[in-house]
Chains A and B, each alone.
Chain A
């Protein structure tokens, strides 16, 4: 690890309020993508009751220690950080294990994140679902946040609650990722549109991820899509989010409005006016 740290680490909370909208998948893919861009990245699984980040990264058999042991000084931080084999710039740190009796406090989270941040460029905190203690713990150490949601009423409503809480905590900037976008349904207005969601939540969009079966395949394998240079639409979307986070200007295109030639545009128009196809 570099002895000279140029800039302080970016500490980013990845949260959604509602469960199952893609927090952990985003954390895993973004972690790998940032690491591949040369950033020293640590992903912290703050959901110790139901932790799954290890599984998505294919590291489930390599966890020995957790943040809890580091804080209790029964092991060193280096021992608890699980390095990814194919992507050594990425390390995983679970906050705790599901059997642990005493839960971490917000102060514990701040301490462990401060330790990790000394040796990283990016710390991504995978937040548990909900807005109770798990969320408060995870948010305690975060400086900025990415809220991920899907174009569904329940997910957007829950995201709104979380955004309100992040605002009161002074976490900024808060950016939005819209996941599981179905361009066809959006074009026929049978799904909340990209603009609808950004208008309602009033957050800048940092990424759009289209519904992609490859996401399921990759979680089955424990290999995030961004790992093997897979050219699937979701993989590209995750890579673009990583680049935007680093300040690169990567244009965002609304897939439901994509111009793909006259015929497609005509069909889009028909779809929009009639709701057919």
Chain B
């Protein structure tokens, strides 16, 4: 470790490389395990945001849809800070667009939803055939 690295770390500006390695691995393994390439994930992210935006105004800068993994279980985690709910007429229109009878409540929705992906190879017979 150079003196520069040491100072950076002392000042809390730089993470130790082992920690960085773990974070990078967790991210890349989440993708490996789910078989979703970055383009597909980006497309899914855009579509999710599009749907959510019909109902509520979200902060696109802060919005984040990503894959996280723990104990060999991969989850799709969406963290979408909500600015405000859409006015009622817009909501009705949105509901009609997706074929719903009633407009949902105008209250802000829960901000985080975690959907476990059934991507673990053990549970996917199709994956076994691909080997």
A residues apposed to B, CB below 8 Å = 136, 152-153, 156-157, 160-161, 163-165, 167-169, 185-186, 188-193, 196, 199-202, 274-276
Contacts and interface: CB of A to CB of B under 8 A. Distances in A.
Contacts of B16: 188-190, 275
B33 A160 contact: yes
A191 B131 CA distance: 32
Given A161-B32, A275-B6, A153 B121 contact: no
B69 to A, nearest CB: 8
Main secondary structure of the interface of A (DSSP, over half): helix
A167 B120 CA distance: 9
Given A165-B121, A165-B131, A274-B6, A190 B24 contact: no
B43 interface: no
Main secondary structure of the interface of B (DSSP, over half): helix
Contacts, number: 72
Contacts of B26: 200
Nearest to A165: B131
Closest CB pairs A-B (n = 8): A189-B16, A189-B18, A164-B121, A168-B128, A167-B122, A202-B72, A168-B121, A196-B22
B18 A192 contact: yes
B22 A276 contact: no
Contacts of B18: 185-186, 189-193, 196
B83 interface: no
Interface of B: 1, 5-6, 9-10, 16-19, 21-22, 24-26, 28-29, 32-33, 71-72, 120-122, 124, 127-128, 131
Given A157-B29, A160-B32, A164-B33, 17 more contacts: A163-B72, A168-B121, A168-B122, A186-B18, A188-B16, A189-B16, A189-B17, A189-B18, A191-B21, A192-B18, A192-B25, A193-B18, A196-B21, A274-B6, A274-B9, A275-B1, A275-B5
19 contacts: A136-B131, A157-B32, A160-B29, A160-B33, A164-B120, A164-B121, A167-B121, A168-B122, A168-B131, A190-B16, A191-B18, A196-B21, A200-B29, A275-B1, A275-B5, A275-B9, A275-B16, A276-B1, A276-B6
